Amino acid sequence: MVRQLNLHGNVGSVGTSGECSVDVPSLSLASPVETGVSWSRRAVLCRSFNGVGALGLAAVLSREAGAQQTSRAEAAGSSALASRVVHFPARAKRVIHLWMNGAPSQVDTFDPKPALLKHAGERPESTKNLTTENATGGLMPSPFRFSRRGQSGLEISELFPEVAKLADELCVIRSMHTDVPVHESSNWMMFTGSIQPNRPSWGSWLLYGLGTENENLPGFIVLGEPGQPVNGPSNWSSRFLPGIYQGTQIALPPNYQPREVIPSLRNMGLSRNSQRRQLDFMQRLNALHLESSGAEQAMSARIQSLEMAFRMQNSAADAFDLSQETEGTLTDYGLTGAEADLVATSGDGGFRRLTFGRNCLLARRLVERGVRVVQVYCGKSQPWDHHSGNTESHRNHARVVDRPIAALLQDLRQRGLLDETLVLWGGEFGRTPTSQGNDGRDHNHHGFTVWLAGGGVKGGMTFGATDDFGFMAVENRVHVHDLHATMLQLMGLDHQRLTYRYSGRDFRLTDVHGRVVQEILA
């Protein structure tokens, strides 16, 4: 469809189908001399602004017409979740994000700093101007022993003995940095690329750019415990992207029933054929509403959600049915015996091995069935936030997550899924190498660690470095925007070309930033 503006200010449209033709009152450009009419200055301004308004109206109608066509296509049955052509060959097809909400300490886990012991209690000049959320004291050595693991000799803390057995699969980025040392803003940055809650999550961007491999399940699923992590749903929101791309949160009680994963999903009063006829009737009414009232993103999302719910009645129960797993697999994930009762205690209640291990196993089952993005949280709030009692809390928390994470990596590898599944581990920032109180560490946005495995990254390597004390990233610095750009690259998407038009501009996950970290790509 082409919109035309003639010399007299008439605005209309020409389309091959003739639909959505619009005519708005014209602005005559004739002068008072030609018409013999005397105009006041107010009349001139009035008529001029009507013309400007007509131009603006034409632009709005053009956008709405395009949106109406999209909504009509969706209502007619074409899917917003269908797999799409990528920008270039993908190295990974799906992502599992293991989220250590609250932020673990890099110098106690994957970034050894022997200089901390040598300078314990001191505050070197190079660290004095590195401010964080709270005041901290002198350097505090890690109480945990590091050793070289695997053929690569990757140095890993004693906190993660099981993960260490898979050292040659890990790509450890030790030079991460972000913008602010505040949980809320840094969560949003890690999940959406912005320190404010106004952008879509990277999971939504991936679903928008790639679609899903299985339209019988949500393409983006968030697993946790009952209760909300910091920021809650804004971490997995689709914001201005269509609602079908938003993450679906599933927080299951310990003894859930697979058919009750999502409340009211099953219709006990109608047969499947009757439900289909009922849904078809409702969708025709919805389509007629869209035809008459114009594009409504909320309505489009509701239409797609109804279809998704109908398809999920059987597929969801199957995906979440752990009775299909062997006793050996359940044991590998730490879900049997006394280990299943382990609890990572913290001020907000902590989280349990039974839940975290189960969610890691569910993550494997979901990506195995074509779910594009799965995020696994460590319980509610921010349990890794250790401003005091860092030694015991880190030991306790790592003991709960270590075995399930190792089992997930091993399971993916054995099933041939690791090569095409990108696994990301980390928190919103790191922690200070200086002490807060007697045995605490404050937030540290200047330098921290994440690791990746599978999905087209090099294993058994470290990239980048913090200073001698683990306070600030100094070598091959990687901002969160760079991490996002790299993740999109691995999934076959160019972060500069994956855009969405909203509020008069093209938005992207990395905004105007981002560099693909080519050095870690296999």
240-291 pLDDT, tens digit per residue, is 999 999 999 999 988 898 888 877 777 777 888 887 888 788 888 888 887 8
Please determine, for residue 308, whether its predicted confidence score (pLDDT) is greater than 90: no
Same-domain pairing of 104 and 226: yes
Whether the pLDDT of residue 181 is over 70: the answer is yes
Q: Are residues 41 and 176 located together in one domain of the fold?
A: no
**CA-based angle 95:98:102, to the nearest 5?**
140
In this structure, the answer to whether residues 277 and 333 fall within a common structural domain is no
Residues 140 and 223 both lie in one domain: yes
Q: What is the mean pLDDT of residues 175-204?
A: 98
Total-model pTM: 0.83
* 337 falls within a domain: yes
CA–CA separation, 182 and 187 (whole Å): 8
Q: Are 218 and 272 contained in the same domain?
A: no
Domain assignment of residue 176, yes or no: yes
Query: Which residues are CB-contacts of 145 (< 8 A; sequence separation ≥ 6)?
Result: 157, 158
Examine the fold and report which residue of 75, 105, 137 is the final residue of a domain before the chain moves on. Answer: 75
Residue 325 and residue 297 share a domain: no
Ranked by mean pLDDT, the top range of 1-5, 315-319, 477-481 is 477-481
Number of domains in the chain: 3
User: Are 478 and 464 within 8 A, CB to CB?
Assistant: yes
* Each residue's pLDDT tens digit, 314-366: 788 999 999 999 999 999 999 999 989 999 988 766 899 999 999 999 999 99
> Do 64 and 188 fall into the same domain?
no
Residue 89: C-alpha distances to residues 171, 420, 422, 493 (Å): 21, 12, 15, 9
Per-residue DSSP letter, 344: E
DSSP letter, residue 385? -
Of 248, 280, 309, which residue constitutes the final position of a domain?
309
Judge if 407 and 485 occupy the same domain.
yes
User: Between 44 and 158, where is the model more confident?
Assistant: 158
State the chain's maximal CA–CA distance in angstroms.
97
314, part of any domain: no
**Domain presence at residue 62:** yes
User: Does 303 lie in the same domain as 221?
Assistant: no
Q: Determine the structural domain holding residue 277 and report its residue range.
A: 264-309
**CB under 8 Å to 509, separation ≥6 — which residues?**
192, 193, 199, 200, 202, 205, 484, 488, 495, 498
What is the C-alpha separation between 379 and 423, in angstroms, rounded?
A: 19
